[in-house]
Amino acid sequence: MRQRDALSFTLLACFLLVIAPLLAASYDGPLYDHAAYTECKKEPEEALYKGGILRGQQLVSVHGSIVDSASNAAYFPAFIFYNLTQGFYCFSSWVKIQGAESSLIRASLKTQDAMYNCIGTVIAKRGCWSFLKGGFVLTSPSDFSILYLQNWDNGNVNIAITSASLQPFTEQQWRTNQQYIINTQRKRAVTIHVSDGQGQRLQGAAISIEQISKDFPFGSAIAKTILGNLPYQNWFVKRFNAAVFENELKWYATEPEQGKVNYTIADQMLEFVRANQIIARGHNIFWEDPKYTPPWVRDLTGSELQSAVNSRIQSLMSNYKEEFIHWDVSNEMLHFDFYEQRLGSNATLSFYEIAHKSDPLATLVMNEFNVVETCSDVNSTVDTFISRLRELKRGGASMDGVGLEGHFTIPNPPLMRAIIDKLATLGLPIWLTEVDISNTLDKVSQSIYLEEVLREGFSHPSVNGIMLWTALHPNGCYRMCLTDNNFRNLPAGDVVDKLLKEWQTGEVKGETDEHGSYSFYGFLGEYKISVHYANRTAVSTLSLFQGDETRHYNIQL
């Protein structure tokens, strides 16, 4: 076992012994490995999980491919499996190509009952090794399966792989790993010490602990329909500590006619946000999809378009300086390029530069769809996203955050986790910014898949916040609603309420021990602590932020 794996397993064992003694006696499964690499290396790293169930398995030759037994690398490689069980599978491999300078390589899986067209991708290069990480879920056992890699466009490229791994997890093992991250990243141990004015420890002091706010941002889109709608406002404030305006900041909403800028609706929505101490994301400055560009802007070219663009940034950013924690600067730039087609290849870079100068404290985000939802979209694979972000940063852009929209149909949790692992190598905050589940599914299925996505996001150590795309309108929501128009929960709303309760420290009551101390384990956030001893009472506020050590807090009566 590698030193890092041994340490991680020790931490997991300690967690299980302290937090879940019943599981400690029975858990003997693997610890998920978040390791990921985005640089092309001269020599590959060793296989994750020591290869998992691929350990000792031979690559097979398909499509006339060649197996190099000396290097254990293969061209057009494949693995054959018999009797794969139901569960979660994490696949990874190092990949190198011949026949092109670089190529998008896709891993696929064929079982006896289904075809998984994409379970992971990598932009592989000639002369060095690139890391592919992905995975899949089997909802039923498969007697015969084949996992193989191929060039995306089926071009004449030779593919070599090494250090391949396939690690299975049962559903319980997957959930246990999620809970381990939640308990180590989203919670912290606290010890409260109670003494009198002379420093004497007070045994038997009654302690009551209440979490009054959460550290982790969890919210939803809102629309102008929330204005003047007290039931909607009360429902929202009871649940969420973060918001994003669905459409009201977009250019077509604030300047439908050239020169007629109107921020009235957005201002009123911001007042609601401020009044309830809710943080808000700024969405968006520009949208690269021409369909959502104001019609009058589509008619502009050259200097007229440049002038309109400059006016838009300066007006928006000056009006809302320091109001929004994030700005989605050039929305969905991997799929659309309206402005770069008309203003040149540096247009996006200039947007980021001007936005940063206008509001230096805001996090500027690259927001995109089909990065984490799937790997089947050639425009927005994880390596494509990383490459574009790095290109902008090299050009001088202040790129401060990763926005993953999260418009899912049927989520693939191992793939989702693997993609976030690779994005985490950038060292930037990662947010799920527009989470919903397709309305092609029934409401119960939506709720089941929503819970999968939310648990996966909350339990990933590199995810800093989650936003739902569930703004309510009289005719429903974009794709998924949490309630009906009378604010009665739909199945998706029940899931959200369940998780909100699960991810909050419940009421804690107890007494100090012989050392005058009381310990508890709580979710990060703000706490009100009340202490009563004899005829004396003290009320204090504790900020519980992330840290590896126990938080010690002294209260004097």
Maximal CA-CA distance, the chain: 86
What span, in angstroms and rounded, lies between the C-alpha atoms of 89 and 30? Answer: 12
Sheet hosting strand 551-556, strand order edge to edge: 517-523, 187-195, 551-556
Q: Tell me which H or E stretch contains 363.
A: strand 363-368
For the chain, state the CA radius of gyration: 26
Task: Give catalytic status of residue 332 as yes or no.
Answer: yes
| Residue of 246, 248, 288, 332 marked active site | 332
Task: Give catalytic status of residue 507 as yes or no.
Answer: no
| Residue 359: CA count within 13 A, CB half-sphere | 27
What is the distance, to the nearest Å, from the Cα of residue 546 to the centroid of all Cα atoms in its chain?
18
Using CB atoms within 10 A of its CB, is residue 534 exposed (0-12), middle (13-18) or buried (19+)?
exposed
Judge contact between 502 and 455, C-beta under 8 A.
Answer: no
What span, in angstroms and rounded, lies between the C-alpha atoms of 174 and 172? Answer: 5
Using CB atoms within 10 A of its CB, is residue 287 exposed (0-12), middle (13-18) or buried (19+)?
buried
Using CB atoms within 10 A of its CB, is residue 486 exposed (0-12), middle (13-18) or buried (19+)?
exposed
What is the distance, to the nearest Å, from the Cα of residue 495 to the centroid of all Cα atoms in its chain?
18
* Best CA proximity match to 92, nearest among 69, 123, 72, 120: 120
Residue 388: both structure tokens together: 């574009």
What span, in angstroms and rounded, lies between the C-alpha atoms of 136 and 93? Answer: 14
Residue type, position 318, single letter: S
**DSSP structural state of residue 321:** T
Judge contact between 369 and 379, C-beta under 8 A.
Answer: no
| Residue of 246, 248, 434, 452 marked active site | 434
- List residues bridging with 43 in a β-sheet: none
Using CB atoms within 10 A of its CB, is residue 329 exposed (0-12), middle (13-18) or buried (19+)?
buried
The catalytic residues are 332, 434
